A = this chain, B = another copy of it.
Amino acid sequence: MARKTGSHADTTRPRVRAAALQLIAQHGFAAVSMRQIAAKVGVQAGALYNYTPDKQTLLFDLLHSHMDELLTARAAAVRQGPACQQLEGFIRFHIRWHLPRGDQVFVSYMELRNLTPENFAQIEQLRRTYEDELEAILRLGVAEAVFVVVDTKITTLALIAMLTGMNNWYRESGRLPLALIEEIYVDLARRAVGVASD
């Protein structure tokens, strides 16, 4: 496992990212040192600078990749049919994509304030794009007269918060199976937009 020198860029780069992500999720960006990350990867601190110009860029790359992957996955999902069906699809997509990515989701949410203003603005725009996906569905449902929603923006934010909050407590070893939890959240979302459950 421990080789002393040589070319390992292809394997080391993802390992740097993985180590950084895990440590930042556990301790927070500001509390994690480049030395800690290097130690987890198994290299010296100086070697990290082959993969990132500085610590800030490392954080930005992690968050940017996260949002890119999320939006790419969402774009690949089915987004057709009546609003009620699309809403259910969005909820299930969100849960299935976010729950297995605890560290990424946590870091992407908690470390926003450690981005420089320029980097923050970029990430925030991507986040907004994702939220707009849900709001568009709510608007569609209102237009179809199947959703009863006072304000689509507020309801969107409330639903997103509800969904994202799952990552704070969900554990695979928990009391309820994921399938049931998913059903509960689909039901909560349907109720939130004023659609009777089936």
Contacts and interface: CB of A to CB of B under 8 A. Distances in A.
Interface of A: 26-31, 110, 113-114, 150-151, 153-155, 157-162, 164-166, 168-169, 175-176, 180-181, 183-185, 187-188, 191-192, 194
A171 to B, nearest CB: 12
Contacts of A175: 153
Given A157-B169, A165-B157, A165-B160, A187 B150 contact: yes
A130 B125 CA distance: 34
Query: How many identical chains are in the complex?
Result: 2
A176 B151 contact: yes
Contacts of A185: 158
A188 B155 CA distance: 8
A71 to B, nearest CB: 20
Contact of A27 (B27, B113, B184): B113
Contact of A114 (B31, B157, B161, B165): B31
A21 to B, nearest CB: 15
A123 B185 CA distance: 28
A26 B29 CA distance: 14
A26 B113 contact: yes
14 contacts: A27-B30, A28-B28, A30-B31, A31-B114, A110-B110, A150-B183, A150-B184, A153-B175, A155-B184, A157-B169, A161-B162, A161-B166, A162-B165, A191-B192
Contacts of A188: 155, 158, 192
A154 B184 contact: yes
A165 to B, nearest CB: 3
Given A30-B31, A157-B169, A161-B168, 10 more contacts: A28-B29, A28-B113, A151-B180, A153-B175, A154-B181, A154-B184, A155-B184, A155-B188, A159-B162, A162-B165
